[in-house]
Amino acid sequence: MRQAGEGLGGLRLRGLIVVLWRAGLRIQEALDLAEGDLDPRRGALLVRNGKNGRRREVGMDDWGWEHLALWSSRRLELPPGPLFCIIDGPTCGRAWPQTGVRAQLRRFAGQAGVRRRFAPHQLRHAHAVEMAREGVPLNVIQRQLGHSNLGVTSVYLQGIDSAEVINAIHDRRPPMMPATAGLKL
């Protein structure tokens, strides 16, 4: 996000990164957002056309809304259109193409020192892993991501390393009743 800079293009890119990362949207879901799909008071974004044409409402944290507001306020100066739009030239205000977004994200990731190939979907995975680490129930993560199958959601959580799994199990509270309760001795 720091690599994006402070100009209008930087604000737009940081706003997009925040929506991908802190709301867990797919790239096209984010690019399809309109200003009317945002409800900062409730902390909700409306995904009108998710995967397989499904509609859902997702949440985003206050930190995400703070960063998105920087772009949203400047977006009002541009012609009406999608939230994340082209910001200059004859197509100003029109949809920002996914290919352009991906290229820009890759370029800035390289400038930030990211050595592996970067894809926007990695931010969605990071969102899922962070929610799991924060103790958010799996079914809530599933709804947030718009997965119809809980198995798909669990694939997203493979980013949790073995040490974290071991520590979570190791740190469990002891049983509330003796291990021999109910046994005939």
Domains and CATH numbers, the chain: 2-166 (1.10.443.10)
Token duo for residue 62: 């206050």
- The confidence score (pLDDT) of residue 171 equals 66
Report the chain's mean pLDDT, rounded to a whole number.
85
Q: What is the mean pLDDT of residues 131-150?
A: 84
Q: What is the mean pLDDT of residues 65-89?
A: 94
Work out the pLDDT band at 33, boundaries 50, 70, 90. Answer: very high
Contact 113, 102 (CB under 8 A): no
- The confidence score (pLDDT) of residue 80 equals 93
Q: What are the residue ranges of helices labelled H in 76-137? A: 98-111, 121-133
Work out the pLDDT band at 37, boundaries 50, 70, 90. Answer: very high
Burial class of 124 by CB neighbour count within 10 A (0 to 12, 13 to 18, 19+): buried
Q: What is the mean pLDDT of residues 31-47?
A: 94
E-strand spans in 43-180? 44-47, 56-59
Question: What would you measure as the largest C-alpha separation in the chain, in angstroms?
Answer: 84
pTM over 0.85: no
Burial class of 102 by CB neighbour count within 10 A (0 to 12, 13 to 18, 19+): middle
Checking if the pLDDT of 34 tops 80, the result is: yes
Checking if the pLDDT of 163 tops 80, the result is: no
- The confidence score (pLDDT) of residue 117 equals 82
Listed in sequence order, the residues at least 6 apart from 185 whose beta carbon sits closer than 8 Å to its beta carbon are none
pLDDT-wise least confident of 61-65, 117-121, 150-154: 150-154
Work out the pLDDT band at 94, boundaries 50, 70, 90. Answer: very high
Helix axes 121-133, 138-145, angle to 10 degrees: 160
* 112 vs 75, residue with greater confidence: 75
- The confidence score (pLDDT) of residue 172 equals 57
Q: How far apart are CA 35 and CA 13, in angstroms?
A: 16
Token duo for residue 32: 């399809």
Q: What b/e sequence results for 38-75 when a residue is b if at least 16 CB atoms lie within 10 Å of its CB, and e otherwise?
A: beeeeeebebeebeeeeeeebbbeeebbebbebbbeeb
The dihedral sign for the CA sequence 66, 67, 72, 75: positive
Work out the pLDDT band at 100, boundaries 50, 70, 90. Answer: very high
